[in-house]
Amino acid sequence: MKTVITYGTFDLFHVGHVRLLKRLRKLGDRLVIGLSTDAFNELKGKSVVFPYEHRKEILLATQYVDAVFPEQNWEQKRDDIVRERADIFAMGDDWSGKFDDLEELCQVVYLPRTPETSTTEIKQIFVKLKEERLHEVRNVAEHLNRLIEELL
């Protein structure tokens, strides 16, 4: 049995995540994921929408993921690879070259990301929508204030 291991936050689960998991699973028979905890994401300067337990439940509900364990720090990868008996360590190609030192333990693979689909971009869209909505509310409030002043 060939085991593939990867790591990530997997917040705001989207089609890019599904496609990545599908490609990862095709590399082996078993896919295990080190899921960044809320505390670790905070240390990395990342904010998450969904807490760890929800993100874990979503991943385990897919047909591609066999197991999820907490990623709590950068240094744990070597121990995880040994514990999980991983044959392949795979990450998105935005990490290309960063984990080449793990090649003494297993094969290291960097996969291309799904173009035009990222959690960061989705979060940016939500921020923009929130700003637009606030602008609309302010305009309505200003209009109502003018009407009230005219009536007085």
56 is catalytic: no
CB contact set of 50 (below 8 Å; sequence gap of 6+)? 11, 12, 58
46 catalytic per annotation: yes
State which amino acid sits at residue 79.
Answer: D
Q: Is 145 left (phi over 0), alpha (psi -120 to 50) or beta?
A: alpha
* Among 44, 98, 128, 130, the one annotated catalytic: 44
Give which of 67, 77, 86, 60 is closest to 5, Cα–Cα. 86
Active-site annotation, residues: 44, 46
